[in-house]
Amino acid sequence: MVFEFMRRGREVPEAKASATGPLTAGPGISYHGSGRVVWSPRDTVSLTKAGFAGNPVGFRAVKLIAEAAAAVPLACQDSTRRYDAHPVLGLLARPNGAQGRAELLEAAYGQLLLSGNLYFEAVGLEGLPLELHVLRADRMSVVPGSDGWPIAYEYAVGTRKHRFDMTGDVVPICHIKSFHPQDDHYGLSPIQSAASAIDVHNSASRWSKALLDNAARPSGAIIYNGGEGQAAMTPEQYDRLLSEIESNHQGARNAGRPMLLEGGLDWRPMGFSPSDMEFQKTKEAAAREIATAFGVPPMLLGIPGEATFANYQEANRAFYRLTVLPLVTRVLASVSDWLGRFDGSNVVLKPDLDQIPALSVEREAQWRRVSDAGFLTDAEKRALLGLPPLVEGGE
């Protein structure tokens, strides 16, 4: 795949491109499921369809985390100074011809949340990479060596595959995975832990839709008691009754229409009403479980229930402290170490806590405490605040 874009009015072709691009240039790949099961399949594609594309709580939780994490300001520094401009920052600002920093990082965090695995591809292995791409985790597989460490990664689209060699000093793939206690090569995603709650929430939504289509009435049975000397209905009577029910008493358009039973017929409900099932409470409990698995306070998703936090601001601060910042810090640390192997630089990428509005109250209190500590030198104060030491000249 060759990215072409306009630069100063001229059409400039990019010679470098993702190695997986040609694999996706052919016919589209579709996934099909067979049969009807009680619980949805637990593979990445099925969980993404059920828990992200088909569930509003999972969709909003992933989008909320990914967008917040991608918008976190970044600080680039080494042991001596912090850089306002650096090649690594330039690479992240324009990682490839189709994405900017926000799009790349949002896709990266989304892949990690949905699959438990994140794969960065570097294009150009001489010096700092020319491009960065996020690869789909459901298409990537690890090829372990005799010692258990990956010697290659295979990216497959249908019957076509591309193999990334991982035996060199500089490797083209950066694999970041969530902790999985029972798998050595792949991570465990939050959506896998929330799979049962997602099934309950989706089933509740489908049941609610089916109930509305059935005029909001629970299912039941029409019982024929029979008349004198007649033990069963004749075929003509049965067909007539079935036709009347289908045309006059099924569907939302027939809601509220009374049913007239004659000739020994009796109606007996065989299902539970929404109030009997505590339908709304069950659905809200499932939504809270989904939010808990992703680490999003239910208040931020508009889920009613117990108010754990005093207000929205407290919930938002806890969301950043407990979910967003640990995710961003872990990903940036791995990316910094990986990119440092290309050009030998020792810069570190980390979230710039001073520029996050949700943490402004905490940072203001910390700066005040450190500033008022008269027993500390300026160098010690800068170290406590995570700032590099001043170089000669006061810069």
- Tell me phi and psi for residue 330, to 5 degrees: -65, -45
Categorize the per-residue pLDDT at 268 as very low, low, confident or very high, splitting at 50, 70 and 90: low
Higher confidence at residue 218 or residue 143?
Answer: 143
Angle at 208 between CA 207 and CA 211, to 5 degrees: 85
The residue ranges of every structural domain in the chain are: 4-24+40-197+288-355, 220-270
- Residue (of 360, 366, 328, 298) closest to 66 by Cα position: 328
Rounded Cα–Cα distance for residues 313 and 298 (Å): 13
With the C-alpha atoms ordered 108, 112, 113, 115, is the resulting torsion angle positive or negative? Answer: positive
Report the pLDDT value the prediction gives residue 7, as an integer from 0 to 100: 37
Percent above pLDDT 70 for the chain = 74
Q: Which two tokens stand for residue 244?
A: 């009347």
Query: In which residue are the tokens 């809270």 written?
Result: 288
**Is pLDDT of 370 > 90?**
no
Q: Which of the given ranges, 144-158, 263-277, 351-365, has the highest pLDDT on average?
A: 144-158
The Cα–Cα gap between 298 and 209 comes to: 24
Q: What is the pLDDT of residues 64-76, one digit of tens each?
A: 999 999 999 999 9
Is the CB of residue 347 less than 8 Å from the CB of residue 78?
Answer: yes
pLDDT tens column, 304-334: 766 666 688 888 889 999 999 999 999 999 9
Strand partners, 120: 134, 174
The answer to whether residue 96 scores a pLDDT higher than 70 is yes
Direct distance between the N- and C-terminal alpha carbons of the chain, in angstroms, rounded to an integer: 44
pLDDT of residue 312: 82
9-19 pLDDT, tens digit per residue, is 444 445 567 77
In 194-345, alpha helices (H): 195-213, 235-248, 279-294, 312-319, 325-343
* Better-scored residue on pLDDT, 284 or 12: 284
| pLDDT tens column, 217-265 | 556 666 766 655 555 667 777 777 777 766 766 655 555 556 656 666 7
Q: Which DSSP category does 357 fall into?
A: G
- The angle formed by the CA atoms of residues 356, 357 and 358, to the nearest 5 degrees, is 95
Please write the tens of the pLDDT for every residue from 167-207.
988 899 999 999 999 988 999 999 999 999 999 999 888 87
* Higher local confidence (pLDDT), 392 or 125: 125
Tell me what the mean pLDDT of segment 373-390 comes to: 78
What pLDDT is recorded for position 381? 79
State both tokens at 29: 């790949």
Mean model confidence pLDDT for the chain:
80
Comparing 118-132, 257-271, 281-295, which segment has the lowest mean pLDDT? 257-271
CB-CB neighbours of 276 under 10 Å? 9
Q: How far is CA 224 from CA 228, 232, 238, 240, 271, in A?
A: 12, 8, 10, 14, 19
Nearest to 113 by CA among 157, 29, 182, 177: 177
Among the listed residues 94, 329, 372, 58, the one whose alpha carbon sits nearest the alpha carbon of residue 195: 58
